[in-house]
Amino acid sequence: MEIIEAKDQIKKIEEYIQKVENYVADAFEKKVFKLYVLRENVTKITKELNEEEYRIGNRKLISKNILDLIRRKPTDEMHEMARKLFNQNKKRSALKY
């Protein structure tokens, strides 16, 4: 890898970090997207949100609720990032089997 390529990758990573750190998760859906970008694990996110007492109606969240939100058409940049990561992880897990 050349120095120019390395500097370009560093710049992209710094921009990525800044986007995630500055993202305001002021709604349930936005919190889901940010958590997925940070954790990349639907089960952990579901557990964490249930511990914070997020509910759909009177019932606890299930992984499918989180997956349905991520799979929707992206509504903002963080949602787009979460969806892209989800698709990459899905492909990676399919290659294992």
- Side chain identity, residue 73: K
pTM of the model: 0.86
Q: Residue 93's pLDDT band (boundaries 50, 70, 90)? A: low
Output the six-digit token pair for 8. Answer: 């370009």
The pLDDT assigned to 1 comes to 78
* pLDDT tens digits, one per residue of 51-75: 999 999 999 999 999 999 999 999 9
- What is the average pLDDT value for the chain, to the nearest integer? 93
Task: Measure the CA–CA gap between 55 and 68, rounded to whole angstroms.
Answer: 15
Query: Could you state, in order of their start, the residue ranges of all structural domains in the chain?
Result: 3-96
Segment 25-32 shows an average pLDDT of 96
3-class DSSP state of 43? helix
The whole-number pLDDT of residue 94 equals 64
